[in-house]
Structure 1
Amino acid sequence: MNEVTAYWEALRSGATIPYRSDVDPRGIQRALKNAFILERMAPGMARLRVAGQTLSELMGMEMRGMPVSALIDPDTREPFRRALEEVFLGPTTATLRLRSDGGYGKPALEAQMILLPLRGDAGKVTRILGALVHQGRVGRAPRRFHLEGSFLRKLDRQDEHKRLTHEAPELDYLDIKTIPTRHAHLRLVVTDD
């Protein structure tokens, strides 16, 4: 989790929210199995665009394309949904403390999840870089987690606005829709062979 957070902070360069296209898996190579990227589908809902091996082990299936809420027990999905939406709209970072109760073939698990905002092509926060780390043996899948607690850290939008637009300091808002895309997601390579 520290590796993913440090990588995101390095991309952020102190103020800006990085673009999804800035993320290079080589930058978090040791944490790839725990990392994931979410895409916002609707308020409080996101699906896994990229899912590391840890999520698949916990659920006993390939998680790419699934809603991230599948990892969360139904009784705490509402506070999880609110935390997720804070990350998208804040923009905010979130650290979540999770617990999965024990049962037959399922030892109790403690886990932590981080959620870090990313910009999409239009400059709006529509993606999240995250990681999930658990302590204990997974046992029988699927494993769902209760949200035990969350720590949200609001990012300073005013500083970010000044840094991106170089406008006067009296402005205290950020219209991120005006920020152009800086990198293409895909590159076409053609050979004549």
Structure 2
Amino acid sequence: MRTFFNNRSKAQSGNVVSMDGFRAGPSLSPIRQAEAYWTALRAEKSAGGVPFRSDIDPRGLENILEYSFILERIAPGIARFRLAGNHLNDIASMEVRGMPLTAFFTTQSRAEISATLEHIFDTPAVAELRLSREKKFGRATLEARMLLLPLKSDFGDVSRVLGVLVADGTPDKGAIRFDILGSELRALSGEPGGQKRPNQSQAIAEQNSVRTPEHIACSHLNLVASNDP
């Protein structure tokens, strides 16, 4: 995992936001650790704005690297994995680098995750999702949490995401795809500024079966006002 992240420059490599101030004990989950680290970056490096992708240093996330990933926006509603920890590779039963985020989701939930991505990039906003493995005969329930935190590229556009995915249990053999049970969206410009939504992926899929991701983002989400070199 030594190459998981790259620093913006050698001059900045010593300027690391530490997680030590947030480690309240072993019960603090990877989701909360990642959000605390990202929030500290906002305060120290971005004056309350969206941190840069190149601000992320692996030493600040050393305890949760296996659950962490970086996404790059490549089209409306589509983001691919640029980097990912081993936990995600285990869930997918393959190397996920280069794959779209939607590959982790069932057909019924892909419209919703695409709309969520557009909300993250365009508002910008933080998204937290509660997931469950798609139901198949003979397979035990496996629930997971995903956190998606917006980042800027070095060009200043919000087109990257720092994410964390934690599954509750040990994934078995074979790729796992998730349904979205519920999600929370928190706009950065508002307090609280978020939207809590029950699972609506089936309805979205039916209503938007022939629509593009741009239409999905506009019709499903009421947006809150507000290339790595």
| Preserved contact between residue 130 and residue 180 of structure 2 (Cα < 8 Å) | yes
Say yes or no: does 1:2 pair with 2:32: yes
Q: Which residues in structure 2 correspond to 1:21-170 (within 5 Å)?
A: 21-103=54-136, 106-156=139-189
Structure number with bigger Rg: 1
Distance 2:80 2:59 in 1: 23
TM-score w.r.t. structure 1 length? 0.79
Cα drift, residue 103 of structure 1:
3.9
Aligned residues of 1:117 and 1:127 also touching (Cα < 8 A): yes
Whole-angstrom distance in 1 between the partners of 2:77 and 2:36: 26
Moved more, 9-18 or 25-34: 9-18
In structure 1, the partner of 2:199 is: none
TM-superposed deviation, 1:105: 6.8
Counterpart of 1:11? 41
Mark the runs of 5 or more structure 2 residues left unpaired by the alignment: 1-30, 191-224
Deviation at 1:78, TM superposition (A): 0.3
Query: What is the deviation of 1:16?
Result: 1.2
Secondary structure in 1 matching 2:64: helix
Q: TM-score, normalised by structure 2?
A: 0.67
Alpha-carbon distance, 1:122 to partner: 1.2
- 1: distance between equivalents of 2:136 and 2:76? 33
Q: What SS is found at the alignment partner of 1:107?
A: coil
Partner deviation per Cα, 1:16-52 (whole Å, 9 max, x = no partner): 1100010001100001000000000101100000111
Give deviations 1:47-80, integer Å, cap 9, x for gaps.
0001111110011000011111100111110011
Q: CA RMSD in A?
A: 1.9
* Cα distance in 1 between the residues matched to 2:178 and 2:158: 26
Greater relative contact order structure (CA < 8 Å, 6+ sep): 1
- CA contact under 8 A between 2:106 and 2:134: conserved in structure 1? no
1:93–1:155 Cα contact (<8 Å) kept: yes
CA distance in structure 2 between the partners assigned to 1:50 and 1:135 by the alignment: 22
Q: Deviations over 1:133-177 (max 9, x none)?
A: 1112211220000011110000118xxxxxxxxxxxxxxx98xxx
Identity %: 43
**Which secondary structure does the structure 2 equivalent of 1:4 belong to?**
helix
Paired with 2:180 and 2:58, the residues of 1 have a C-alpha distance of 28
**1:102 shift after superposition:** 4.9
Equivalent AA in structure 2 for residue 95 of structure 1 = E
**SS of equivalent to 2:63:** helix
1:104, distance to aligned residue in structure 2 (A): 6.0
CA contact (8 A) 1:107 1:137 kept: no
Q: 1:53 to 1:105 in 2, by over 3 A?
A: farther
What count of residue pairs does the alignment treat as equivalent? 161
